[in-house]
Copies of this chain bind each other. A is one copy, B any other.
Amino acid sequence: MTSNRSSATMNAIAAALGVSVATVSNALTGKGRVSSDLASSIKAKAGEMGYVPSQAARALRTGRSGVIGLVLPDLANPLFPQVAQAIEHAAVSAGYGVLIGDSRGETQRQTEAIGRLIERGVDGLIVIPRRGSRIGEVGCPVAVIDSPSTPGNTVSADHRDGGVQMGCHLASLGHRRIILLAHSLSSNVQIDRLDGLQAGLGPQAHCEVLLVEELEARNGSGCKLELATKVLHENFTAVAAIYDILALRALTELQREGVDVPGQVSVSGFDDLAWSSIVSPTLTTLRQDLKTIAELAVDALRRAIEETDTRSMFLDRMTVTGGERVRMELVARQSTARAADIGEKGTGGSDPKSSILRIL
C-alpha cells in the first residue's frame, strides 16, 4: 500500500460529505478557496475517517516527491551519523523525508548512490562528498557539505578557524613544541584544520606534522605512533590530533606507555564524538555545530528546489552554492588541563601521577 492500508481517500471524504474532491483538496491543503465552515467540517471528517494523503498521487501530480536524498561517504564513520541525525531533523522540520545513500567509502558507489536516489524521485540531494571527489551535474539541486576550500561547497564547519581556536588554546597554555597528528593530506578538511592549527599556534611554535597514512604505509595499519619516545626525548608537550579518533589512539598509546596525560603531554582532537567526554582524561576537542550546518544545508536545498519550479526547466545546472562557514566551538576538557585545573575537574583527584608530574 502506498499509504495506510485502510486509509480513506479524498473521494471517500467528498462522497461522505456530498461535496467535490476539488473542494476537499482545497480545504485540506489550506489553499483558502473554501468557506471556513466547510473547511472545518471537511477537516473533521478527514480526521474521523483516518485520512492519510497519498504521497504517490501528490508526487505524480505536482512533480515533487517531498523527499530529499542524503549521500554519505561512509555511514560507519563515527562523525557522519551525527550529521545524518542533524539533517534528518532539519529535513523533517522542513517537511521532507530523507532517503539515504551510502557510498561505503568508494567514489564509484557515490555516483551509483546519487543515481539511485534520483531514480527514486528525490527533489534534491545533500551530499557529503568522499575525500577528493567532486559532484558533477546530476540534474537536480545538490547541496554539498564539505570544506570551505572545496569548490561547490554549500556549507560546512569552519575547520580552519577551529584549528586556529585550538592552536590559540594550546599556545595560551604555554605549548611551544607540538605534534600535529593527521591522517592524510588528501582531505581538504584536514588541510584546513592543520593550516588553522599552525596559524593559531603562531610563528614561535615548533610544529611537527605526523601523517598516520604514511606511518601505516611503512609499518602496517594499526602500527604504533611512537609518540611516547618523541614526547619524552624531543620535549614535545602537546599532541593536537586532527580528529578525535586519532586523539584517542594517541591518548591510549601514551597512557599505555606510562606517559601521563595531561601531566606530561596534552592531547586534543576535533569533532567531539560521543565518547570524547567519557574517556579518561576527558578529551579537549572542537564541536561542530551540526544543527546549524544541517539547517543551512536543508534550507539552501529547499530554496533551490523551489526555484527549480519557478525557473525554466532548461536550467539544468543546479548546484547550490553559498560557501557558508559555521563556527566550531572549543570544548576544553581534562586532556589539556593545566595541573592546577585538574583537581577541579572532580575526577582527577586520586590520580597519583597527574598531581606530581607536569611540565607546563
Contacts and interface: CB of A to CB of B under 8 A. Distances in A.
Contact of A275 (B78, B101, B253): B78
Contacts of A80: 81
A99 B102 contact: no
A165 B136 CA distance: 49
Interface of A: 1-6, 52-57, 59-60, 63-67, 70, 74-78, 80-82, 84-85, 88-89, 92, 97-102, 104, 116-121, 123, 139-140, 220, 222-224, 245, 248-249, 251-253, 255-258, 260-261, 274-275, 277-282, 308, 313, 316, 346-347, 350-354
Contact of A55 (B6, B119, B222): B119
Copies per assembly: 2
Given A84-B100, A119-B53, A222 B1 contact: no
Contacts of A75: 81-82, 84-85, 88
A308 to B, nearest CB: 7
Contacts of A76: 81-82, 85, 274
A313 B6 contact: yes
B222 A278 contact: yes
B253 A280 contact: yes
Contact of A4 (B54, B139, B224): B139
B245 A278 contact: yes
Given A81-B75, A278-B249, A316-B6, A63 B98 contact: no
Most chain-B Cβ atoms within 10 A of its Cβ — which of A78, A123, A282? A78
Contact of A249 (B57, B245, B280, B346): B280
